[in-house]
Chain A
Amino acid sequence: MREGALAQPLDMALLHMTDLATWTTSHLPNVSSVRVSTAVYHNAGANSVQDLAFALGTQSSICVL
């Protein structure tokens, strides 16, 4: 997601993500279906510590939902 907004509700996106991860595990075992990118923070001037902090913060807010 790179526009600052989602085209679908977050829970739907999360559902699609877990579906995809489940599918790749059995069909394409060497494929990673999830990654974390901090490019948007990096490009906005974040240093390495801030990059990691925002990545963990995002992960934490997603897991709570």
Chain B
Amino acid sequence: MIEKELKILNDFPPVSYDAWKAQAVADLKGVPFERKMITHTYEGIDIQPIYTPESWPSANDPSGFPGSPPYTRGTRPLGHSLDGWDVRQEVLHPEPSEVNRIVLEELNNGVTSVELKLDAAASAGLDADDPRSAQLCGREGVMVYTLGDLDQALNGVRMDIVPVCLEAGAAFLPAAALLAALAQERGMEGSRSWVPSMPTRWVH
């Protein structure tokens, strides 16, 4: 029987940055702190080994706090600290049935959301039987043109817990309509699927 309440924090009193650094310098046994503990990124940014509230005082910061106006730092107070990283794998295979096999295998092996890239025809807003699609079908993505195609590609995918993202380039409206229709058909209107819309990738 546990008679005493366990208070782990009592065993680890707060340590100031200076005390921590002094200990770290001692443990480094002469190796310069700056050389060993500071990471220099490819972009030329120096990343410190530890950050404290003093590193970036947030009082009077115009960016505010996460989850508070003006939402510069995101709409959620805890950000992604609860969900962790979203691991998403883009699927490019042309066949919806094969895409489905790949997607299910990936979901069973650690991927947490699905991204389907629609083929060049669908991304140009064309149907498969349009003469202009001749050279575009099956190129650079999955051949999804109808609700049935999308249903097949996402067969067995739990849209209520697995976000689905369609990458359809400039033809985002038809893709959005497909995904919305599938969510409706499966009774998953509350799902977290993504329909990327804007052509935010164009290059002049």
| B22-66 interface bits toward A, Cβ cutoff 8 Å, 1 = contact, 0 = none | 000000000000000000011111000000000000000000000
Report 29 cross-chain contacts, Cβ distance below 8 Å, ordered by A residue.
A1-B200, A2-B123, A3-B123, A3-B170, A6-B170, A6-B199, A8-B170, A13-B198, A13-B199, A14-B198, A20-B172, A20-B176, A21-B197, A28-B189, A28-B193, A32-B194, A32-B195, A32-B196, A33-B196, A34-B196, A34-B200, A35-B165, A35-B196, A35-B198, A37-B167, A40-B201, A48-B43, A59-B200, A62-B198
Which residues on the A side are within 8 Å of B41 (C-beta)? 48
- What is the bound-complex CA distance between A33 and B173, given in angstroms? 10
CB distance from A24 to the nearest CB of B (A): 7
Q: Of residues 12 to 61 in A, which have CB atoms within 8 Å of B's CB atoms?
A: 13-14, 16-17, 20-21, 24, 27-40, 47-50, 55, 58-59
Which residues on the A side are within 8 Å of B180 (C-beta)? 24, 27-28, 31
Inter-chain contact B192/A58, CB cutoff 8 Å: no
Known: A20-B173, A49-B45. A31 touches B193 (CB 8 A): yes
CB distance from B82 to the nearest CB of A (A): 16
- What is the bound-complex CA distance between A10 and B94, given in angstroms? 29
CB distance from A8 to the nearest CB of B (A): 7
Which residues on the A side are within 8 Å of B170 (C-beta)? 1, 3, 6-8, 13
